[in-house]
Amino acid sequence: MIVVEDLHRHFGGFRAVDGASLTIKTGSITGLIGPNGAGKTTLFNVIAGRLPPTSGRVLMDGEDISGLPPHVLFHKGLLRTFQIAHEFGSMTVRENLMMVPPDQAGERIWNSWFARSRVAAEEKRIRQKADEVLDFLTISHLADQKASMISGGQKKLLELGRTMMVDAKIVFLDEVGAGVNRTLLNTIGDAIIRLNKERGYTFCVIEHDMDFIARLCDPVIVMAEGRVLAEGTADEVKNNERVIEAYLGTGLKNKVKEAASHG
């Protein structure tokens, strides 16, 4: 369970996250939506350790994890994907997956000189696991392609696949659907549901596609102007007046009001 308490992240005078508080329950697929500039990605970046918070706390199963670097959070089972795919371009798709498992014996340089057989055995295991993941994601045919050469949607799948190389507790998915075609998006959605059911992954998903959110997520949290605006099922938030207002733009609404009072 992730608890975010009164989190702030400011850039100079700009308050990207401005007192957000929310809870992501273990075992849920929580949706995070909101208009552009609502602070969703910044919130992800703070939770996942990319940016330190200006103030406030992030708790993971009761432990304060605010400000820990990403690689430490990874070891605690907190993983993320990126809005713009961050693949390792010079490596093959399979290598992209094989680099993920933590504390590989082969990652110690002296083992590459003095413990070759142990490393080879471990590599075999990891390779097998990578192939299983590729199979699960239905992209086995891409295994030996350079990761920079595959399509944007396939890169998103690859990023999801990387989280499957370990036993993650919670995975933050930043706009998995951006630039992905409908068929591939369904594949991604199926994979998320299966991972949630079969392996007990908790997900937090940022997505603009409301159909996708409605199909996967419960609850859905709505952010606007750096804060949490509403929380509920997809249907509830869709009909929430404040949410509609936020999407329409508060500025516009205010102008309408002003015009009315002056008139």
Partner 1 sequence: MNQRSLILFALVACLYLGTGFLQSWNLSLSILNAALLATIAALGVNMQWGYAGLFSVGTMGFTALGGLAVVLVSAKPNVENWQAGGWGIVLALVLGALSVMAAIFAWRKLPKGRTRALVVAAIMVGGFFLFRAVFDPNVMAAEAINPQFAGNLGGLGLPSLVAWPVGGLLAAAVAWGVGKTALGLRSDYLAIATLGIAEITVSVIKNEDWLARGVKNIIDLPRPWPVPYEVELQQVPAFLDLVGRWGLDPVTTSTIGVKLLYAGMFGLVLAAIIWAFERALHSPWGRMMRAIRDNEVSAAAMGKDVTGRHLQVFVLGSAVIGFAGAMMTSMDGQLTPGTYNPLRFTFLVWVMVIVGGSGNNWGTVLGGLLIGWLWLVVENVGPNIMGLLTAPLPDSWLKAHLLGSAEHMRLLTMGVILLLVMRFSPRGLIPEK
Q: Contact positions toward partner 1, by CB under 8 A? A: 48, 50, 69-71, 74-75, 79-80, 82, 86-91, 95-96, 98-100, 102, 104-109, 111-113, 119, 122-123, 162, 166
Of 138, 35, 136, 131, which is closest to residue 92 (Cα–Cα)? Answer: 131
Task: Return the number of the residue (63 or 241) whose C-beta is nearest partner 1.
Answer: 63
Strands of the sheet with 2-11, listed across from one edge: 14-24, 2-11, 55-60, 63-64
Task: Return the number of the residue (76 or 215) whose C-beta is nearest partner 1.
Answer: 76
Task: Return the number of the residue (19 or 70) whose C-beta is nearest partner 1.
Answer: 70
Task: Return the number of the residue (35 or 161) whose C-beta is nearest partner 1.
Answer: 161
DSSP 152: H
CB of 77 to partner 1, least distance (A): 10
Question: Is the bond into 52 cis (omega within 30 degrees of 0)?
Answer: no
CB of 115 to partner 1, least distance (A): 10
CB of 86 to partner 1, least distance (A): 4
Q: Which region holds residue 34: left if phi is over 0, alpha if psi is between -120 and 50, else beta? A: left
CB of 213 to partner 1, least distance (A): 23
Of 150, 168, 169, which is closest to residue 85 (Cα–Cα)? Answer: 150
CB of 225 to partner 1, least distance (A): 26
Task: Return the number of the residue (5 or 95) whose C-beta is nearest partner 1.
Answer: 95
Cα–Cα distance, 27 to 1 (Å, whole number) = 8
CB of 235 to partner 1, least distance (A): 33
Cα–Cα distance, 78 to 171 (Å, whole number) = 6
**Residue 209 CB partners (closer than 8 Å, separation 6+):** 177, 185
Task: Return the number of the residue (88 or 247) whose C-beta is nearest partner 1.
Answer: 88
Sign of the four-CA dihedral 50, 102, 23, 241: positive
